[in-house]
């Protein structure tokens, strides 16, 4: 057999492993179809394009920066609010925390300015956006509310009042789409109970007496000397056409469903409308995911002690707890996926309407599945690919079609827009939810990250199996946040990649 002939035994092995992996065990495939749909969207997009020159330059810059930072799943645990195994969280606690977080991980947009928008004060700092959600969950646990235990969401103790307290704001503005979030929690609790609960779950109801242990991290954060309010300096990412001139009023990329309380200003993408058979509450991804294009950061306000802190310290001093009976329903859901990331994404979309992030484009149903994929990716990263975070096909996940990463892709010259789309956004005019423009932005972002990944592996074969769409996405999201806080967030494009290149 010559060198360039494939080894038949190896081929057979490969065929078998691919066949068994994709054969639907319990009727659920490991193929999500998201990347194929993203390519279809890209091939049929007329208002969003992917610049090959920008893509190759961005790939070089991203890979260089990831190497310099030794960027890996470890970065997930370095996020100061993320739960860590090194704290008092058991692996089941982590799983339940991440499930709760990613159930609710959508649309933190506000039309108000930096000081008035929804924000959460936790451990002497103020958190906005995604961070505000994580801070609410941590604060709830510290205050003795088992907010990350699905069984709690359907218990008598879990009143709307109790939930409003968990997600309370430090400002007058409440958490965006709070009602939808509460509805999602309660719906998920019922689905987990019906489809994945174990016998234990059927015994008695959790009461607030069985409360999770306060985590060491919260104690560590307690000691945070930094009393400067953390600013989510949400000025627009440089050069991003979605930067809204300060003078402009609110506008939308797409309007929220008619009963929404606010319309989102332009940014890039919404989490898409989903299949229309379900209500908005079930499908919060319809919400506009719009960035806050706010004026320059508000002045630092130092706070020494907030009434919240007093409340927390009082509460948890008097607070004793015995470890609650673990709620294993999410672990059981993960187990049904047999360590396949794709299968777990499909299970989430199959059982939970709120994760069913699908829409129609050019007469065809397309799946984007942003939060279903982000949940699996968060599990994988938080547990460093071990235990309930171990997946044999994690590289099949795609970029998560939110609005932050597309913003970065645009500012890096990877995505470009037609003049009509560009002006429409700059004018901050409404675009109906599910509009082709929204789907083009989300689908082309997914495809662009795939092209970046392919270019990295082409130029650096050693990156195969190491740099995947998940890590590129996480890296670009973190870069966007660094840039937003004025902490750099720049990419150095290696010179040799900026010359004109064939493609």
Ligand X SMILES: Nc1nc2c(c(CN[C@H]3C=C[C@H](O)[C@@H]3O)cn2[C@@H]2O[C@H](COP(=O)(O)O)[C@@H](O)[C@H]2O)c(=O)[nH]1
Residue nearest to ligand X (CB): 129
User: Any idea of the CA torsion for 162, 166, 171, 175, to the nearest 10 degrees?
Assistant: -100
- The 3 state secondary structure assigned to 100-157 is HHHHCCCCCCCCCCCCCCCCEEECCEEECHHHHHHHHHHHHHHCCCCCCCHHHHCCCC
Which listed range, 92-100, 102-110, 154-162, 485-493, lies at the site for ligand X (CB under 6 A)?
102-110
Spell out, one character per residue from 125 to 154, where the chain touches ligand X: x when CB under 6 A holds, - when not. Answer: ----xx------------------------
| Dihedral pair phi/psi, residue 127, rounded to 5° | -120, 140
List 71, 106, 153, 391, residue binding ligand X (CB under 6 A)? 106
In angstroms, the Cα distances linking 307 to 41, 301, 315 are 50, 16, 12
Q: Is 108 in the site for ligand X (CB under 6 A)?
A: yes
C-alpha angle 283-285-287 in degrees, rounded to nearest 5: 105
- The 3 state secondary structure assigned to 52-112 is HHHHHHHHHHHHHHHHHCCCCCHHHHHCCCCCCCCCCCCHHHHHHHHHHHHHCCCCCCCCC
* β-strand pairing of 125-127 with 358-361: unpaired
Q: Residue 48 is inside which H or E element, if any?
A: strand 48-50
| Token couple for 494 | 């290696």
Please answer whether residues 307 and 480 qualify as being in contact, where contact means their C-beta atoms are separated by less than 8 angstroms: no
**Shortest Å distance, C-beta 327 to ligand X:** 23
Q: Is 450 in the site for ligand X (CB under 6 A)?
A: no
Per annotation, catalytic residue among 402, 455, 473, 478: 402
Of 267 and 327, which has the nearer Cβ to ligand X? Answer: 267
Q: Is 369 in the site for ligand X (CB under 6 A)?
A: no
**Shortest Å distance, C-beta 5 to ligand X:** 42
Of 45 and 294, which has the nearer Cβ to ligand X? Answer: 294
Of 88 and 378, which has the nearer Cβ to ligand X? Answer: 378
List 95, 182, 250, 405, residue binding ligand X (CB under 6 A)? 405
Q: Is 352 in the site for ligand X (CB under 6 A)?
A: no
Catalytic site includes residue 402: yes
Q: What is the CA radius of gyration of the chain?
A: 22
**At a CB cut-off of 8 Å and minimum separation 6, what does 474 contact?**
75, 76, 377, 381
**Shortest Å distance, C-beta 436 to ligand X:** 20
**Shortest Å distance, C-beta 108 to ligand X:** 4
Q: Rounded CA gap, 361 and 355, in Å?
A: 19
Q: Is 97 in the site for ligand X (CB under 6 A)?
A: no
Q: Is 308 in the site for ligand X (CB under 6 A)?
A: no
Q: Is 328 in the site for ligand X (CB under 6 A)?
A: no
List 402, 430, 450, 455, residue binding ligand X (CB under 6 A)? 402
List 49, 52, 65, 75, residue binding ligand X (CB under 6 A)? 75
Helices and strands (DSSP H and E) totals, the chain = 19, 6
In 3D space, the residue among 134, 182, 194, 184 whose CA is nearest the CA of residue 329 turns out to be: 194
**Shortest Å distance, C-beta 155 to ligand X:** 27
**Shortest Å distance, C-beta 156 to ligand X:** 31
Please answer whether residues 51 and 45 qualify as being in contact, where contact means their C-beta atoms are separated by less than 8 angstroms: no
Q: Is 289 in the site for ligand X (CB under 6 A)?
A: yes
| Dihedral pair phi/psi, residue 366, rounded to 5° | -130, 145
b/e per residue 266-276 (b: at least 16 CB within 10 A): bbbbbbbbbee
Q: Is 474 in the site for ligand X (CB under 6 A)?
A: yes
Number of residues that bind ligand X (CB under 6 A): 18
**Shortest Å distance, C-beta 373 to ligand X:** 9
Q: Is 99 in the site for ligand X (CB under 6 A)?
A: no
**Shortest Å distance, C-beta 15 to ligand X:** 34
Q: Is 71 in the site for ligand X (CB under 6 A)?
A: no
Q: Rounded CA gap, 228 and 225, in Å?
A: 9
Q: Is 404 in the site for ligand X (CB under 6 A)?
A: yes
Q: Environment class of residue 434 by beta-carbon count within 10 Å: exposed (0-12), middle (13-18) or buried (19+)?
A: middle
Of 366 and 446, which has the nearer Cβ to ligand X? Answer: 446
Q: Is 267 in the site for ligand X (CB under 6 A)?
A: no
C-alpha angle 62-68-73 in degrees, rounded to nearest 5: 75
**Shortest Å distance, C-beta 470 to ligand X:** 9
In 3D space, the residue among 51, 103, 425 whose CA is nearest the CA of residue 243 turns out to be: 425
Of 358 and 378, which has the nearer Cβ to ligand X? Answer: 378
Q: What is the DSSP annotation of 195-214?
A: HH--HHHHSS---TTS-PPP
List 25, 53, 64, 79, residue binding ligand X (CB under 6 A)? 79
Q: Is 88 in the site for ligand X (CB under 6 A)?
A: no
Which listed range, 159-167, 199-207, 303-311, 398-406, lies at the site for ligand X (CB under 6 A)?
398-406
Which listed range, 73-81, 163-171, 276-284, 294-302, lies at the site for ligand X (CB under 6 A)?
73-81
* Catalytic positions: 402
Residues engaged in binding ligand X (CB under 6 A) = 75-76, 79, 105-106, 108, 129-130, 289, 378, 400, 402, 404-405, 473-474, 477-478
């Amino acid at each position: 057999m010559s060198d360039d002939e494939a080894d038949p035994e190896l081929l057979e092995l490969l065929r078998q492993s691919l066949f068994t992996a994709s054969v639907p065990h319990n009727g659920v495939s490991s193929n999500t179809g998201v990347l194929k749909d993203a390519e279809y969207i890209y091939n049929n997009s007329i208002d969003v394009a992917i610049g090959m020159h920008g893509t190759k330059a961005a790939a070089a810059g991203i890979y260089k920066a990831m190497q310099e930072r030794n960027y890996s799943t470890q970065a997930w645990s370095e996020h100061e609010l993320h739960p860590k195994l090194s704290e008092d969280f058991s692996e089941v606690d982590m799983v339940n925390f991440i499930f709760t977080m990613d159930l609710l991980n959508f649309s933190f947009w506000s039309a108000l300015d930096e000081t008035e928008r929804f924000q959460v004060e936790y451990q002497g700092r103020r958190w906005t956006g995604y961070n505000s959600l994580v801070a609410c969950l941590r604060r709830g646990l510290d205050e003795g509310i088992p907010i990350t235990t699905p069984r709690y969401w359907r218990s008598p103790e879990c009143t709307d009042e109790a939930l409003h307290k968990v997600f309370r704001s430090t400002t007058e503005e409440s958490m965006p789409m709070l009602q939808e979030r509460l509805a999602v929690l309660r719906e998920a609790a019922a689905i987990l109970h019906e489809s994945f609960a174990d016998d234990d779950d059927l015994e008695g109801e959790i009461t607030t007496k069985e409360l999770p242990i306060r985590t060491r991290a919260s104690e560590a954060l307690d000691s945070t000397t930094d009393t400067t309010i953390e600013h989510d300096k949400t000025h627009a990412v440089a050069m991003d056409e979605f930067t809204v001139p300060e003078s402009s009023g609110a506008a939308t990329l797409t309007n929220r469903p008619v009963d929404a309380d606010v319309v989102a200003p332009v940014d890039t993408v919404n989490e898409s409308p989903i299949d229309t058979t379900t209500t908005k509450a079930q499908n919060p991804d319809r919400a506009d995911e719009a960035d806050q294009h706010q004026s320059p950061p508000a002045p630092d306000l130092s706070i020494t002690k907030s009434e919240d802190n007093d409340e927390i310290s009082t509460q948890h001093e008097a607070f004793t707890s015995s470890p609650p009976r673990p709620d294993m329903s999410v672990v059981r859901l993960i187990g049904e996926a047999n360590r396949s990331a794709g299968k777990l994404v499909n299970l989430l979309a199959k059982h939970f309407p709120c994760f069913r992030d699908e829409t129609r484009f050019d007469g065809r149903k397309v799946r984007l599945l942003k939060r279903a994929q982000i949940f699996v990716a968060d599990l994988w990263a938080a547990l460093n690919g071990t235990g309930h975070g171990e997946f044999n096909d994690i590289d099949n996940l795609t970029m998560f079609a939110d609005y932050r990463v597309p913003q970065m892709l645009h500012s890096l010259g990877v995505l470009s827009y037609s003049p009509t789309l560009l002006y429409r956004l700059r004018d901050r005019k409404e675009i109906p939810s599910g509009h082709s423009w929204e789907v083009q932005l989300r689908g082309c972002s997914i495809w662009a990250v795939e092209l970046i990944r392919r270019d990295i592996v082409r130029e650096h074969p050693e990156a195969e199996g190491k740099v995947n769409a998940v890590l590129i996405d996480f890296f670009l999201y973190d870069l966007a946040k660094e840039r937003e806080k004025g902490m750099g967030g720049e990419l150095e494009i290696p010179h040799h990649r900026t010359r004109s290149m064939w493609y």
